[in-house]
Amino acid sequence: MRLSFLGRSETPPSPTTTSEEEDLAPLNCSILVVDSLFQAGTYHITPYGSPQPSPIKEEYKNVFESGVKTDNHSGLGVSQLLQNLLETYNQVTTFTTGNAAMCSLHEKPGHAGYVILLIDLDNYSQPDVRMSPESDHGIGILDQAARGPHALYGMELLKVVVKEMELGVISNVVPIVVSCNDSPQLMWSCLDLGAADYLVKPVSAQAIKTLWLNTPRGNRSIPWREGKKNVASKSTLEPAERREITPTLNEMLSRSAWMDTIRKRLLSWEFCPHSLSDDDLIRCILIIFEDSLAMEGLKNIQLSTDMMHRFILYVRNSYNDSNPYHNFHHAIDVLQATYYMLKKLGLMGGPSPSSPHSRAVQKFMRPNDVFALIVASLTHDIGHPGVNNTYMINTQNTLALVYNDEAVLENFHAMFLFKMMKEYEIELFPHPSSQEAKDFRKLVINTILATDMTAHFEHIRKISEQNKRLNSQETQGLDLDLERVVFSTAIIKCADISNSARPFSISSKWADSLMHEFSNQARLEASKGHPLIINPHQTEKEWAQSQIDFIKRMSLPLFETVTQGALELADFLHSIHENTVEWERVRDGCTVETDDAKDNPLQQQVPMYWPK
């Protein structure tokens, strides 16, 4: 989850009550470790508190009776690592070769829950493997493999695991690499191969406690949904299946009457993605992309219909539906908000703008820039793990280490997008080194990075300064690259928190989803002793007050600043004020007595309610 998030689940995006099974998620995971330093066996906590091999005879332990191993794990002894693992997980099974681990995975029932597979990259020494006289299950093959040149270790084992997951041979397996090497290049190489995470030794106790969060990554072999084929439901696409994408999506577009209905919804500020099916959400993207690619003046963009369809499906499958808020519905919501605003400002058709600011914007925002803004809006939260930057930093997540605690998730989303495009050969420009390709990449990255809410007021300041420049109607001498980035920042930031300006019936649904996601994170934080993002047991009055605080301190300053220049968007302010009144009614109508907002630290810490 920390470095890659391609898995999907069928969990609805709307808020649901967390079950007891969800609260006990770590106990539903089993841990397999492949490291030649370990003594093979299944370990559990003894009554005396120390990890010991299970008294239950298992063929893997019997076969791989390695001798006494060096108790050295790059600063963290093997026994201490086992101890830390067993503090969170019921038992840990260790193997000295990947061959034995694969044999275990092949025999695992499909309903047996998730398996977290820790693959060590550093210890490649051949273990002293002996055939157990008690074993008659053909393990001699494993014995030969362990001794011979085909023993599986490290990266080769990772390749085999990922390939068998893609083929459906094994499922619900989460491969995680462990190494002393902290090279970012090696980290990305492992992710490219399909690792769910990369842990740097010595592995901290906090990192061990959060290993189970990677479990959604184990769904690589999700089949087509039962019944009607849903083009958005497959996690990976084989070459033969790719050829079927265009006819399938073209069939969607052939429903002209329904497409007209979807188009009308896209042109309305009362748009609500929760009321649409998965296929309808795909239709929304198709319509907006087709409108974008129909703009006159696009330069050197070679996005064929087949490539566009593949790109859309890859993006869709990279959002995690188990996130109550940061899921595919949120991506479509932000995309539609951007599309709506661009239409209002005359950048994608529609009436010519009336304000000097917007007329100036039309002069420097080229069609390629508009398309970059559309792509950034769709993908700005791609691969989101369902926790925020603070959580990533507090748990010393590998991503936080890679990005030095700066805009951790936003940097990840931008990287994820372009790595995905490279991996699946989504080549928008015939020459990647062309100026158009460089400008596109730069604008997409800067636009996604702008969604980091820790820089919220700095962005508002830059937008305000741009308003002064553009309202002066003096466009000579402007740094056009800077103006494009600032304008794109203004649009995506408004789109990202647009639920504050939607009709209250829609806005409140998004607030509930966000509350659910924050509550999930708060429970994780409480279990690990970290500061809580919110009180997971908030009253309705407290939650309503938090929404009022967020609107007044975060949303309203942004929309006021943007609409001082883009007068065509001034109606948003009316909706924001109406929503504030509605939330005040919810707060005041609640019969539960709580402290006043000014005396309640929960209600003063507005940053904890930021979507990111």
475: which residues sit within 8 A by CB, 6+ positions away? 360, 363, 364
Question: Cβ-count burial of 264 within 10 angstroms (0-12 exposed, 13-18 middle, 19+ buried)?
Answer: exposed
Catalytic residue among 111, 137, 150, 326: 326
Q: Catalytic: 574?
A: no
What is the Cα–Cα distance from 364 to 345, expressed in whole angstroms?
13
Distances (CA, A) of 469 to 12, 461, 466, 487: 45, 13, 5, 12
Residues annotated in the binding site for AMP, as ranges? 326-330, 381, 496, 547
48: which residues sit within 8 A by CB, 6+ positions away? none
Residues annotated in the binding site, as ranges? 326-330, 380-381, 496, 547
Q: Return the SS3 of 472.
A: coil
Peptide bond connecting 223 to the previous residue in cis, omega within 30 degrees of 0: no
**Token output for 463:** 């937008």
Asked if 337 and 345 count as a contact pair (C-beta separation under 8 A), the reply is no
282: which residues sit within 8 A by CB, 6+ positions away? 231, 232, 249, 252, 312, 313, 316
Give residue 49's identity as a one-letter amino acid code: G
Distances (CA, A) of 465 to 357, 458, 468: 12, 11, 5
Residues annotated in the binding site for Zn(2+), as ranges? 330, 380-381, 496
Question: Cβ-count burial of 34 within 10 angstroms (0-12 exposed, 13-18 middle, 19+ buried)?
Answer: buried
- Closest C-alpha among 126, 134, 148, 24 to residue 66: 126
Q: Give me the active site residues, please.
A: 326
